[in-house]
């Protein structure tokens, strides 16, 4: 595989930079030279983007052509097969998961206009006037920290389809997905001033987030937590997603729990990191551990790979972290792996096998800890505990009827409620994502115009 160069793109034009680094794969081999944009170049870029931002949405045929180029073409010297392999090796994400992400991003490109129609609240009219929903501004910024999954690129694609000019600070581990999308769009005829991509550090990311009209940021809470209270910035950090189970699960439900914990390699923020149960936590944890320990460790480039991989140095850090988190708890998986959940692979990387712990008290500090690998703590819950242990969750999945879904949905710290055994990332296509719609658009009232005007 050839080594590629990641360069800044400003208003559709590639730029050079003297700030250079080598991005290595999880197996230690070099994958790309990254030429980062310093802060000054970021300031120049934002001025140019702002000057050219016209708010006009590109025609749908641009997105349709870009979707085909992105999913099938050769871009930046990489075929789609090369690209999938490169992302898998860079991020440590199993190849099948990268392939699914490519399909999803291609669909988002092709259907972006229809998705926006679905997710933006509909116009509403009365005899006295009309309410319409319009973009909140002209410039949208997206900043990812590590970039552990290609999926977050969906947000800026949707903003672009509404007429925003977009500026992307790609993730450090995966600049390839954003690069391929940008070049597919430009090759499909997108006006250059509509898209910019600036690899760089945290200071650059902060500049972009502050300068844009609307922004989205992905990363760990220590890095992105300062943006949680900033209006117009949508923050995605640790999800601490939970499952509440109020009965002894059958085999189908155990399969679902294993999927929601380790599905898509367990790297998503909506993977479950806590299972709260009215049954005995030790018994449930043992049953889950038996299932999850059967997942085979393979190099991420393999067609059957299903677990994430990390470089040797990060493997040792994870061992230390797992031992610390297991303090005072019961570890149900490490013994199944001969004492080490990190499995050395033939390419020199380490597969991260699922870790299942159980606690006697849901207040234990490990309960709610989220890691970008398959990791879950099973803890007790009873109706007398109330709703407090269910809060602070990106997704709360309810298996049973111990609590009212409508009641728990009123908790501001619960972002989404799923009723029944459905992985939260398998959203029904007809269910609107108003969170994204409300980030990108706002209502304006046309007084004196009736519903038909």
Name the token pair of 402.
């111990």
- What CATH number did the domain enclosing 121 receive? 3.40.605.10
Q: Is residue 450 part of a domain?
A: no
Residues 266 and 400 in one domain: yes
Name the token pair of 81.
């097969």
Residues 307 and 264 in one domain: yes
Find the distance separating the first CA and the last CA of the chain, reported in whole Å. Answer: 58
C-alpha distances in angstroms, 349 versus 26, 41, 108, 147, 344? 6, 36, 32, 19, 6
Cα 288 to chain centroid, rounded? 25
Q: Is residue 265 part of a domain?
A: yes
Residues 86 and 64 in one domain: yes
- What CATH number did the domain enclosing 325 receive? 3.40.309.10
No. of helices (H) and no. of strands (E), the chain: 13, 23
Q: Is residue 327 part of a domain?
A: yes
What is the pLDDT, as a whole number, of residue 449?
A: 63
Report the relative pairing of strands 393-399 and 414-419 from DSSP bridges. Answer: parallel
Burial readout 263-289 (b: 16 or more C-beta within 10 A, e: otherwise): bbbbbbbbbbbbbbbbeebeebbbbbb
Residues 91 and 110 in one domain: yes
Report which of 200, 208, 195 is spatially closest to residue 175, judged by C-alpha positions.
200
C-alpha distances in angstroms, 32 versus 7, 55, 169, 366? 10, 34, 17, 37
Q: 379 with 275: CB under 8 angstroms?
A: yes
Name the token pair of 15.
């730029």
Q: Is residue 399 part of a domain?
A: yes
Residues 288 and 140 in one domain: no
What is the pLDDT, as a whole number, of residue 343?
A: 97
Q: Going along 206-298, which residue ranges are E strands?
A: 214-218, 233-236, 241-245, 272-277
* Ranges under pLDDT 50 in the chain: none
Residues 27 and 167 in one domain: yes
What is the pLDDT, as a whole number, of residue 452?
A: 52
Residues 186 and 268 in one domain: no
Report which of 324, 40, 346 is spatially closest to residue 198, judged by C-alpha positions.
40
Q: Is residue 59 part of a domain?
A: yes
What is the pLDDT, as a whole number, of residue 278?
A: 96
Residues 217 and 253 in one domain: no
What is the pLDDT, as a whole number, of residue 220?
A: 84
Domain that residue 232 falls in:
4-237+433-443
Q: Could you give the CA distance from residue 275 to residue 421 in angstroms, rounded to a whole number?
A: 13
What is the pLDDT, as a whole number, of residue 4?
A: 87
Residues 160 and 85 in one domain: yes
Q: Is residue 426 part of a domain?
A: no
Residues 347 and 325 in one domain: yes
Per-residue pLDDT reduced to its tens digit, 103-160: 999 999 999 988 988 888 888 777 778 888 999 999 999 999 888 899 999 999 999 9
Q: Is residue 307 part of a domain?
A: yes
Total domains in the fold of the chain: 2
Q: Is residue 424 part of a domain?
A: no
Residues 46 and 130 in one domain: yes
For tokens 């117009």, what's the residue? 232
Residues 266, 158, 429, 87: is their CA dihedral positive or negative?
negative
Residues 232 and 279 in one domain: no
Per-residue pLDDT reduced to its tens digit, 366-375: 998 999 999 9
Name the token pair of 434.
């108003």
Q: Going along 322-423, which residue ranges are E strands?
A: 330-331, 342-344, 350-352, 355-358, 375-380, 393-399, 414-419
């Amino acid at each position: 595989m050839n080594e590629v160069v990641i360069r800044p793109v400003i208003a559709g034009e590639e730029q050079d930079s003297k700030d250079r680094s080598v991005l290595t794969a999880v197996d230690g081999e070099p994958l790309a030279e990254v030429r980062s944009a310093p802060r000054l170049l970021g300031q120049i870029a934002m001025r140019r983007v702002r000057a050219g931002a016209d708010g006009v949405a590109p025609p749908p045929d641009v997105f349709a052509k870009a979707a085909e180029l992105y999913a099938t073409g050769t871009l930046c010297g990489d075929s789609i097969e090369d690209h999938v392999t490169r992302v898998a090796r860079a991020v440590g994400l199993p190849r099948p998961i990268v392939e699914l992400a490519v399909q999803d991003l291609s669909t988002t490109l092709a259907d972006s206009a229809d998705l926006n129609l679905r997710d933006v609240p509909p116009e509403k009219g009365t005899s006295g006037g009309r309410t319409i929903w319009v973009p909140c501004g002209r410039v949208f910024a997206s900043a990812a920290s590590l970039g552990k999954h290609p999926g977050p690129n969906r947000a800026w694609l949707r903003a672009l389809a509404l007429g925003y000019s977009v500026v992307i600070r790609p993730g450090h581990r995966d600049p390839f997905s954003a690069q391929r999308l940008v070049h597919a769009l430009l090759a499909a005829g997108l006006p250059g001033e509509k898209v910019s991509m600036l690899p760089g550090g945290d200071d650059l990311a902060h500049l972009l987030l502050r300068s844009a009209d609307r922004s989205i940021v992905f990363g760990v809470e220590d890095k992105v937590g300062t943006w949680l209270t900033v209006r117009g910035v949508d923050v995605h950090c640790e999800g601490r997603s939970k499952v509440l189970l109020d009965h002894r699960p059958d085999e189908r439900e155990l399969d679902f729990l294993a999927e929601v914990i380790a599905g898509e390699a367990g790297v998503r923020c909506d993977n479950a990191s806590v299972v709260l149960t009215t049954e005995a936590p030790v018994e449930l944890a043992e049953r889950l551990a038996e299932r999850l320990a059967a997942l085979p460790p393979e190099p991420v480039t393999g067609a059957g790979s299903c677990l994430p991989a990390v470089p040797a140095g990060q493997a040792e850090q994870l061992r230390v972290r797992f031992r610390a988190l297991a303090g005072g708890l019961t570890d149900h998986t490490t013994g199944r792996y001969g004492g080490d959940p990190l499995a050395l692979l033939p390419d020199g990387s380490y597969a991260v096998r699922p870790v299942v712990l159980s606690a006697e008290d849901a207040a234990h500090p490990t309960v709610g800890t989220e890691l970008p690998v398959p990791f879950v703590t099973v803890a007790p819950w009873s109706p007398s505990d109330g709703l407090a242990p269910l809060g602070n969750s990106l997704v709360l999945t309810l298996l049973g009827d111990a609590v009212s879904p409508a009641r728990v949905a009123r908790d501001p710290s619960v972002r989404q409620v799923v009723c029944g055994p459905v992985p939260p990332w398998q959203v029904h296509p007809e269910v609107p994502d108003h969170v994204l719609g409300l980030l990108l658009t706002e209502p304006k009232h046309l007084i004196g115009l009736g519903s038909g005007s």
